[in-house]
Amino acid sequence: MQQLKIFKGVESEIAVLEAEVNAWIRQSRARIVSISGNIAPQSNLPEGKGGVTGRTLYPPSDIVLIVLYEPAEA
């Protein structure tokens, strides 16, 4: 039976999200059917506000990954 797993992260920490997804795949031994994702559009911050790092006008975008998988056989 196919199931979903949803991962959420931010653009500025994409390596963390990648490591989390890869660790879950190894640990679960799931058979991945497909992976799709989306990145939220960035918006300008109000005047006088910097991004998370204070060096950009744009905050990091949200990223969502949807993994369709079949659980490993028990």
In the chain, the number of structural domains is 1
Quick: pLDDT tens for 25-59.
Answer: 999 999 999 999 999 876 655 555 555 555 666 78
Q: For residues 61 and 42, is the Cβ–Cβ distance under 8 A?
A: yes
> Could you tell me which of 9, 6, 5 has the C-alpha nearest to residue 31?
5
Helix (H), strand (E), coil (C) string for the chain: CCEEEEEEEEHHHHHHHHHHHHHHHHHHCCEEEEEEEEECCCCCCCCCCCCCCCCCCCCCCEEEEEEEEECCCC
Residue 47 lies in domain: 3-70
- If you average pLDDT over residues 45-74, what whole number do you get? 76
pTM equals: 0.76
Res 17 pLDDT > 80? yes
